[in-house]
Amino acid sequence: MNSTKVEQHRNKLRNRRIIVIGGFLTFLYVVVGIQAFYLQVIEGDILSKRASKQYQKSMKCQGKRGAIFDANYRELAISTSVVEVGMHPMDVKSKDEKTILNKHKLSGDIARILNLNQNVLYKKLSSNKKFVWLDRKVTPMRAVTLRSLRLTGFEYDSSYLRVYPYKSLAAQVVGFVGVDGYGLDGLEQHFDDELQGNLRQWTIIKDRMGRIFDRREACSPGYEGNNLILTIDSNIQYIAETALQKSVEENNAKCGLAIVMAPETGAVKAIAHYPTYNPNSFNSFPRDSWRNRSVTDTFEPGSVLKVFLIAAALESGLCDPEMIINCESGQYRIGRNVINDTHSYDFLTVHDVLKYSSNIGSVKIAEIIGAQALYEMLLNFGFGEKTGINCPGEVKGLLRHFQGWKKIDNATISFGQGITVTPIQLITAISAVANHGVLMTPYVVQAITDENGNIIKNFNPSEKRKVIMPETARALMQMMNAVTEPDGTGGQAVPVGYTVCGKTGTAQKINAHGTYRNCEYNGVFVGFSPAQSPELAVLVVIDEPQKHHYGGVVAAPVFREIVHETFNYLNIPPSTPKEQLNVSNGVGEVGA
């Protein structure tokens, strides 16, 4: 009996133990199951991504940026292959996975390979950062040499470096790109979407030693960017920049600008600035030197605006070239203001008012035709509106409505004060005179091509409007040709063997006190040549010259040199003396 009870008691204890142990195991299974469910279902994606980072990496690379060519397909901007080298400082180890103990020696070895500063490199090796860039412009050969050290913890990404082979040539027009390959200024920025290559993506899979054994690539169609073909001719650009620099330095000027245009089409052949900058190292130059002042800056044009005053006078029918104007012996009072001429004149014809650049004669003509006629002519020639040139940053200048003009405003605007224009507006307007009265839209990009050179888009010459009658244009050309005669204000603009139509300007600049007293000047010359059949229009602006300040002295010689050298380059033959233009009694007739 007792033995039976003992046996039953043992069975109860055993069963109890089994139940307890079974319950405990069941609890563990439940806990493990819940944890497994949490890891596999709830945290599955996160953990999977975390694990994949240890053996695979997604890489991205922008396609090769398109090139920028001049009109003769010379490369003004190209992209060359480089390697971006980065480093995980805490993961840098030798080929046998040993931690680098002598970082100073290693930094010296890497510095010699990459041509970097050893001290800077040592600080990066000793950094606690997860990742640092060593150099993003490493040549492929240097990258191969660095890889031969077989160090872990380094990243090598293929990339491209933007290079400007002609350095500062047309720098303000072309612009530059940043370290990430995006356009930051000039045409590089304006046409960034066209030039930028498509994004390429790929995935690399590594073993635990960091060795790549699989690569899965996805390449977008049209991987490389498109190219720009400019109207700029690098030879003419060089001629303009050289002549401009000479004048700026000789006259101790603040800066200078020159534009060369084909008047029949509006194609810009050169836009020269001085001082300039090198886009390969743009950060080493002041920001002020980056901008394309031909479209972004305005100035009071001075006497060159008299061309458009005379155009308004001839178109109105109220004046003709032989009409006599009383120039008041050099002084003319308007209210409390006195208008002066550089030289005293009693009576001049309209023709001679332009030839000798009489301010008083211009004021008298403006009074004859009225403010509205002058305003409408200036507006018609494109002043007060953007030209539409395919360059970034263009402004429209200042041309106030004539209803807000006072009598003195009508007077000063007639000789180019109280109005501001951009250089591109001024040369485009003068080109309309050379183009028989037809105003064209200026342009610097003539085509966009794909990576194989196939044309995607053309920018053809575009006629904006007819601004004056052809006979008025011929009369203006005759008068502008007289300006460049030996006794005219622009005599120094004429190259030997060629004829020139032009106009000088000596424009006062408002000083810090908002007046013209003791102010600086802009010396300006604008014109075209040959006079009979214009091939080129050229504008020269010399800002704040110190040695001389008259446009006929500081700017006209630059015009002469640009035209002479460019015509030699283009094989445009000289004209004979018999072809000189003379003004006759009839408007638009060419005298003997």
Q: Which residues contact 580 (CB under 8 A, 6 or more apart)?
A: 481, 499, 531
Write out the H or E segment, with its range, that includes residue 354: helix 350-355
Which residue in 523, 49, 547, 55 sits closest to 258, CA to CA?
A: 523
Would residue 18 count as lying in a domain?
A: no
What is the total residue count of the chain?
592
Angle at 31 between CA 29 and CA 37, to 5 degrees: 100
| 294 and 148 together in one domain | no
Would residue 536 count as lying in a domain?
A: yes
CATH for 362 = 3.40.710.10
Would residue 203 count as lying in a domain?
A: no
| 151 and 238 together in one domain | no
Radius of gyration of the chain (CA): 37
| 135 and 270 together in one domain | no
Q: State the residue for tokens 């169609």.
A: 221
Identify whether the C-beta of residue 354 lies closer than 8 Å to the C-beta of residue 304.
no
| 153 and 239 together in one domain | no
| 379 and 481 together in one domain | yes
Would residue 586 count as lying in a domain?
A: no
| 149 and 271 together in one domain | no
| 135 and 256 together in one domain | no
Q: How many domains does the chain have?
A: 2
pTM: 0.81
- Return per-residue pLDDT of the chain as tens, 592 residues: 566 766 776 777 777 777 878 777 787 778 777 777 766 767 666 656 665 555 555 556 667 899 999 999 999 999 988 888 888 888 788 766 666 667 788 888 888 888 888 888 888 888 888 888 888 888 888 888 888 888 888 888 877 889 999 999 999 999 999 988 889 999 999 999 999 877 666 565 555 555 444 444 544 555 789 999 999 999 999 999 999 999 999 999 999 999 999 999 999 999 999 999 999 999 999 999 999 999 999 999 999 999 999 999 999 999 999 999 999 998 999 989 999 988 899 999 999 999 999 999 999 999 999 999 999 999 999 999 999 999 999 999 999 999 999 999 999 999 999 999 999 999 999 999 999 999 999 999 999 999 889 999 999 999 999 999 999 999 999 999 999 999 999 999 999 999 999 999 988 887 777 777 778 889 999 999 999 899 999 999 999 999 888 999 999 999 999 999 999 999 999 975 544 444 433 333 322 3
Q: Per the structure block, which two tokens stand in for 390?
A: 């395919």
DSSP labels, 544-590: S-SS---HHHHTHHHHHHHHHHHHHHHT-PPPPGGG---B-SSTTPB
Of the residues 79, 234, 289, 303, only one is catalytic, namely 303
Angle at 481 between CA 478 and CA 486, to 5 degrees: 135
Q: Per the structure block, which two tokens stand in for 110?
A: 């890497």
DSSP labels, 319-361: --TT-EEE-GGGEEEETTEEEE-SS--SEEEHHHHHHTT-HHH
Would residue 509 count as lying in a domain?
A: yes
Q: At what angle do helices 423-434 and 306-316 cross, to 10 degrees?
A: 40
Told to judge if 303 belongs to the known catalytic residues of this protein, a careful annotator would answer yes
| 153 and 290 together in one domain | no
| 295 and 148 together in one domain | no
Domain holding 331, by residue range, is 234-450+457-579
Would residue 32 count as lying in a domain?
A: no
Would residue 348 count as lying in a domain?
A: yes
Cβ-in-10-Å burial (0-12, 13-18, 19+) of 69 comes to buried
Would residue 26 count as lying in a domain?
A: no
Which residue in 505, 540, 566 sits closest to 257, CA to CA?
A: 540
Q: Per the structure block, which two tokens stand in for 178?
A: 């940043």
Cβ-in-10-Å burial (0-12, 13-18, 19+) of 428 comes to buried
